[in-house]
Amino acid sequence: MVVNVDLANARKAVSFPVEELTHFINGGPEKTVRRRWLRSLVDPQNDPIFSNINQPFLSRDQYYILMIKRFKKMLQLKKLHNLQKDDWGYLIIFTMELSISTLHDLFFTPTLERQMSEEQSSKWFPLAKEYSILGCYLQTELGHGSNVRKLETTATYIHETDEFEIHSPTLTSIKWWPGALARTSTHGILFARLIIDKKDYGIHSFIVQLRDERHKPMPGIEIGDVGPKYGYNYNDNGFLRFTQVRIPRENMLMRFSKVSRSGHYSTPPHAKIIYDTLVSNRINFLELSTLFLSKALTIAIRYSLVRKQGDDYKDLKNENLILDYQSQQYKLFSGLALLYASFFNKIYMQKLYENYIKNIGKIDDNLMAEVHASSAGLKALCTDLVLEAIENARQSCGGHGYSQLSGIPNVLTYYAHLVSAEGENTIMYLQTGRYLLKSFLIAKKGSSTGGRLSHLSFYSKILMEKCAAETLEDLLDAETQLCAFRHMYLRLLSDLNTSIETSATTHPHGYDGSKADHMIDIVHLSRAYCHYITLINSHEGLQSVKKEQSAIYPILRALIDLYFINAALNQSGDFLIDGYYTSHHISLLKQGQKKLLNIIRPEAIGLVDAWEYCDNNLNSALGREDGNVYETLYEWVKMEPMNILEKQGKIVGYDEGLKDILTGKYLKEIKEIEIGKVKPRL
């Protein structure tokens, strides 16, 4: 492999041990070894089914078929090597076989495991684990997604036969969007209104068989595909209409809520417990975010170290590498800063969630509220910022970034749905914001809020603080960064609460009505708070990096400092409004931003190479490991099916219309056929 000279030189200039960063990303050297081995299992050189080379030219159905074939192959590898949960998860993510397995492994199977009684689970869980049944998650309807409480599908208990009757009573109650529903799944976890003796007990979950042994829809079930989407087109997102479908009573998921043979309903210990899978998937979204962003940045940074454009003002004979432009560095290194901050968020949330799961059923209300609020807000902030950063990475590749062959549009259009799915982002921010407002009111009354909000007890003291930093170094001190964001978000929280309370006194709908008139501010507050907890998670994570992987600490610290500066400058008004920062602080932060870009510049290639994506996985002509961008683009365009046909003598479109236009035949046809028939419009 002849590596592009600029890319090779950039790799030589990296000052930190890249492999150590790889170990950190993977969770230790043993995991790196294991992951490299897993990667070799799906190397297209061993089995061409894993080759992505033709993927941009495939139609929806061709792509779906390829994914099904690959999935079958991967299940064989799983059996053969007895791959367990972590290995399997990595393989799925690495190959991006996300359609079937995400829905089945991340939504369907864990819900069976966690929401079913032991007896139910012993029946269904082994079937799901062995893929003898394939499942999807049937929540969203045509008319309602975010507002789960207003879902309309009904599950009515029939005393006589000890069954539930599942029905879609209206057009808007048709299930719409669920992934892997249209063709793949045999079963689904259904969210429907539980009705017993005409009483509505709200939304509960049920397992429903969708297709029979010959894979035909069950009686009373109409299933179809929702059609082409913005991206992620190989996934068979579907619609589903029930017409009085009967399922046994035992198909209701009864770990928490129960319905007895006599139709007696018993209540769950905590109403929100059935949304447990949602929380865990928000955390999975944090992981997916780091993977998708690292892919896009690997492509864009490698390309920016190969692409030359614009004269070097120091030596007009030379052209600059585009990564040497400060503006390009800002676009891409801000993405790197976000990538590693999101990585620290993911680590923190995984630990918090493990603790939550261990104690499920006997959960303390405060922990539950904190897990819900943090997972909601961080999911929203992270996916919002990552989507923006992937788009920035695409734009930073100029015109070539618009080509599917760059690999970025595929990453971007797949990733884009994460801002809407598993809790639409605005609604997630609002949930976190309301939690903050509620906690603030508790603190104001003198009660303790605990957990990460224990500082609310000293809110009035914090609101009096002013930043004492005099130099950039002072400003970037970890504790000073956290104090700044804590002060800023608390200022927003306190002012917002005052404003809501003031207008509530005259609002016809009181406090709630006034809150509804402050939605933009609640979202703004929520984002500020999430930046604050991202910084806490990052600095806590950095402490252990400093102890255990000291060689990569300085560069990771520089990235988190850049994250802090970017977030602070984007909200500089909120820091200036009560004089916490002065204009001197803002100008120091601007200087710091540029200084950090210079520090990161020589390390950038190491920060993306550490993710160890191979060419087949990136599937990008621009992000090639050897930097042979132009050769690859030229080679790949030859695979475009219309170019292949032309080589075979068939010029697509010529006989179908172009020839008539160019020879003037189209005019003759008008004269012969149309003239005189068409009346001019008045």
Ligand X SMILES: Cc1cc2nc3c(=O)[nH]c(=O)nc-3n(C[C@H](O)[C@H](O)[C@H](O)COP(=O)(O)OP(=O)(O)OC[C@H]3O[C@@H](n4cnc5c(N)ncnc54)[C@H](O)[C@@H]3O)c2cc1C
Q: Which residues are annotated as a binding site for FAD?
A: 140, 179
In single-letter form, the type of residue at position 559 comes to L
Q: What is the 3-state secondary structure (H, E, C) of 417-467?
A: HHHCCCCCHHHHHHHHHHHHHHHHHHHHCCCCCCHHHHHHHHHHHHHHCCC
- x/- contact string, 269-308, with ligand X (CB under 6 A)? ----------------------------------------
* Spatial CB neighbours of 629, under 8 Å, sequence gap ≥ 6: 4, 303, 306, 307, 621, 622
Among candidates 404, 400, 420, which has minimal Cα distance to 412? 404
Taking residue 165's Cβ as centre, other Cβ atoms within 10 Å add up to 18
How many Å apart are CA 613 and CA 39, to the nearest integer?
10
- DSSP one-letter string for 67-131: HHHHHHHHHHHHHHTT--HHHHHHHHHHHT-HHHHIIIIIIIHHHHHHHS-HHHHHHHHHHHHTT
- DSSP one-letter string for 87-99: HHHHHHHHHT-HH
Applying CB under 6 A, among 178, 407, 541, 592 the residue interacting with ligand X is: 178
Q: How far is the CB of 229 from ligand X (least distance, A)?
A: 6
For residue 31 the two structure tokens come to 């995991």
Pick out residues in 417-436 that bind ligand X (CB under 6 A).
Answer: 417, 420-421, 424, 426-427, 430
Applying CB under 6 A, among 177, 242, 575, 581 the residue interacting with ligand X is: 177
Applying CB under 6 A, among 145, 335, 407, 433 the residue interacting with ligand X is: 145
How many Å apart are CA 86 and CA 66, to the nearest integer?
24
For residue 301 the two structure tokens come to 């940074």
Q: Taking a C-beta distance cutoff of 8 angstroms, is the pair 532, 563 a contact?
A: no
Pairing assessment for the beta strands 163-167 and 258-259 based on DSSP bridges: unpaired
Cα distance between the two ends of the chain: 68
Residue least distant from ligand X (Cβ): 145
Q: How far is the CB of 104 from ligand X (least distance, A)?
A: 11
Q: Taking a C-beta distance cutoff of 8 angstroms, is the pair 282, 258 a contact?
A: no
Judged by beta carbon, residue 114 or residue 282, the one nearer ligand X is: 282
Judged by beta carbon, residue 176 or residue 575, the one nearer ligand X is: 176
- x/- contact string, 123-142, with ligand X (CB under 6 A)? --------------xxxx--
Binding residue positions:
140, 179
Q: Does 606 bind ligand X (CB under 6 A)?
A: no
Q: How far is the CB of 304 from ligand X (least distance, A)?
A: 30
Pairing assessment for the beta strands 238-242 and 221-225 based on DSSP bridges: antiparallel
Q: Does 146 bind ligand X (CB under 6 A)?
A: yes
Pick out residues in 224-243 that bind ligand X (CB under 6 A).
Answer: 232, 237
Judged by beta carbon, residue 422 or residue 561, the one nearer ligand X is: 422
Sheet with 221-225, strands from edge to edge, namely: 175-176, 238-242, 221-225
**Ranges assigned E (strand) in 271-426:** 308-312, 315-321
Q: How far is the CB of 64 from ligand X (least distance, A)?
A: 14
Among candidates 458, 654, 550, 611, which has minimal Cα distance to 35? 611
How many Å apart are CA 250 and CA 231, to the nearest integer?
38
* Spatial CB neighbours of 406, under 8 Å, sequence gap ≥ 6: 299, 303, 394, 397, 400, 620, 621, 622, 623
Q: How far is the CB of 516 from ligand X (least distance, A)?
A: 8
Judged by beta carbon, residue 146 or residue 471, the one nearer ligand X is: 146
Phi, psi of 267 (to 5 degrees): -85, 145
**Catalytic residue, candidates 97, 422, 603, 612:** 422
Q: How far is the CB of 62 from ligand X (least distance, A)?
A: 20
How many Å apart are CA 187 and CA 164, to the nearest integer?
16
Q: Give the position of tokens 């749905």.
A: 417
Judged by beta carbon, residue 42 or residue 112, the one nearer ligand X is: 112
Catalytic (active site) residue 422:
yes
Judged by beta carbon, residue 180 or residue 599, the one nearer ligand X is: 180
Contact window for ligand X (CB under 6 A) among 292-300, 414-422, 475-483, 506-514: 414-422
Q: Taking a C-beta distance cutoff of 8 angstroms, is the pair 297, 339 a contact?
A: yes
Judged by beta carbon, residue 295 or residue 417, the one nearer ligand X is: 417
Q: How far is the CB of 86 from ligand X (least distance, A)?
A: 23
Judged by beta carbon, residue 340 or residue 414, the one nearer ligand X is: 414
Judged by beta carbon, residue 137 or residue 489, the one nearer ligand X is: 137
Phi, psi of 208 (to 5 degrees): -130, 135
Rounded alpha-carbon distances, angstroms, from residue 602 to 195, 315, 465, 605: 63, 21, 38, 7
Q: How far is the CB of 583 from ligand X (least distance, A)?
A: 35
Number of residues that bind ligand X (CB under 6 A): 20
Among candidates 238, 38, 34, 215, which has minimal Cα distance to 136? 238
Q: Taking a C-beta distance cutoff of 8 angstroms, is the pair 542, 560 a contact?
A: yes
Handedness of CA 209, 215, 218, 222 (dihedral sign): positive
Contact window for ligand X (CB under 6 A) among 13-21, 37-45, 177-185, 543-551: 177-185
- x/- contact string, 371-410, with ligand X (CB under 6 A)? ----------------------------------------
Q: Does 330 bind ligand X (CB under 6 A)?
A: no
Judged by beta carbon, residue 145 or residue 541, the one nearer ligand X is: 145
Q: How far is the CB of 190 from ligand X (least distance, A)?
A: 10
* Active centre residues (catalytic): 422
Give the binding site for ligand X (CB under 6 A): 103, 137-140, 144-146, 177-179, 232, 237, 417, 420-421, 424, 426-427, 430
